[in-house]
Amino acid sequence: MIDIKLPMSEAEARGLRMGDEVGLSGRMVTARDAGHKLMVEKKPKWLRPILEGSAIYHCGPVVAQVRGEYVFTAAGPTTSIREEPYQGQVIGDYGVRGVVGKGGMGKKTLQALQDHGAVYLHAIGGAAALLAQCVTRVESVYMLEEFGVPEAFWVIRVKDFPVVVTMDSTGASLHDSVLARSEEALRKQL
């Protein structure tokens, strides 16, 4: 397990390789469909300093309020491929070094990881209760009223958040290699 502190440098991001198991600690920001659309179409200035060097987390959490503070009670990853139209540009525009989600992403994102020095980090889909325990604090929330709980930008601090590098800055993608093997195995039984 490799420990990575967020925000991370370009060199750290470029040093990670497909298959590495990583524990993330530091600041992450959740963003899903409405958030990515906003980041590309409206380019909000306030987001850049929060996101620079940090990781975007594709997640729509279940959030409770305990003594006036927000607490994540369930916070696993959502399917990343929905952000494929936006992700590459978001990585470049906001200086994002990590994209955390599930299911992997496509060619445009893989290219952006190479161009800007970033990685795709696969969290365990459905492991919402465990991953919520890795969220130590909710720092702030943006666009909660406009987008609702799942789609808002939640700025969170995490500790030892477990992920696997499945796409890296050298252009390697575990998703592509598993797909190719599966395609071959399927052809054999048709």
Instruction: Single out the segment in contact with another protein by CB under 8 A; choices: 2-10, 43-51, 108-116, 178-186.
Output: 178-186
Cβ distance 57 to 77 under 8 Å?
Answer: yes
Three-state DSSP at 95 gives coil
Site size toward another protein (CB under 8 A) is: 50
Residue closest to 76 by CA, chosen among 103, 47, 50, 53: 103
- Assess whether 58 carries a catalytic annotation: no
Output the smallest distance, CB 49 to another protein, in A.
27
Three-state DSSP at 151 gives coil
Instruction: Single out the segment in contact with another protein by CB under 8 A; choices: 6-14, 44-52, 88-96, 173-181.
Output: 173-181
Q: One symbol per residue from 113 to 152: x for binding another protein (CB under 8 A), - otherwise; what is it? A: ---------x-xxxxxxxxxx-------------xxxxx-
Q: How many other C-beta atoms lie within 10 A of the C-beta of residue 64?
A: 12
Using the minimum distance from each CB to another protein, give the nearer residue, 11 or 186.
186
Q: One symbol per residue from 15 to 34: x for binding another protein (CB under 8 A), - otherwise; what is it? A: ----x-x------------x
Using the minimum distance from each CB to another protein, give the nearer residue, 10 or 125.
125
Q: How many other C-beta atoms lie within 10 A of the C-beta of residue 146?
A: 10
Residue 68's contacts (CB-CB under 8 Å, 6 or more residues apart) are: none
